[in-house]
């Protein structure tokens, strides 16, 4: 089931904003797919698949190390328009948006 952002609040500043009023590259929905992939939809309707399978073989994944387990990877959710995980690891939504501009599948180079 996709994760939908309704209204978000930056708890650090106490500021709320409506995602519809944000940049087109912010993530509106994410669905975790098999094989370390994410189906994403951005505010302007652009969509595609992000392949994160390379995390399993990364030699120095740093904060992304927990994502190598399927159970942890499945905890992906949207926070302030970015895909993030409980440990604070996230994927830059503007980077994903640009990478998907001319294709429907993009592999994250961990």
Give tens-digit pLDDT for 48-84: 999 999 999 999 999 999 999 999 999 999 999 999 9
Asked if the structure places residue 23 within a domain, the reply is yes
Domain that holds residue 71: 15-107
Mean predicted lDDT score pLDDT of the chain: 87
Residue 4 has pLDDT above 60, yes or no: no
| 80 within a domain of the structure (yes/no) | yes
Q: Does a structural domain hold residue 86?
A: yes
Q: How close are the terminal C-alpha atoms of the chain, in Å?
A: 26
Q: Does some domain include residue 101?
A: yes
Q: How many domains does the chain have?
A: 1
Q: What is the mean pLDDT of residues 8-27?
A: 66
Angle at 3 between CA 20 and CA 46, to 5 degrees: 55
Would the pLDDT of 1 be above 80?
no
The sheet carrying 77-79 orders its strands as: 77-79, 82-84, 90-91
Q: What is the CATH number of the domain that holds 83?
A: 3.30.2020.10
- In this structure, is residue 1 part of a structural domain? no
Position 9 scores a pLDDT of 53
Q: 67 lies in a domain?
A: yes
Regarding pTM above 0.85, the answer is no
């Amino acid at each position: 089931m996709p994760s939908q952002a309704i209204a978000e609040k930056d708890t650090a500043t106490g500021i709320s904003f409506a995602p519809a009023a944000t940049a087109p590259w912010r993530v509106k929905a994410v669905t975790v797919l098999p094989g370390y992939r994410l189906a994403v939809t951005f505010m302007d309707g652009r969509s595609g698949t992000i392949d994160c399978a390379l995390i399993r073989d990364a030699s120095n994944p740093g904060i992304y190390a927990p994502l190598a387990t399927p159970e942890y990877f499945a905890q992906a959710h949207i926070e302030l328009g970015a895909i993030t995980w409980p440990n604070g690891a996230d994927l830059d939504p503007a980077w994903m948006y640009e990478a998907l501009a001319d294709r429907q599948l993009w592999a994250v180079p961990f």
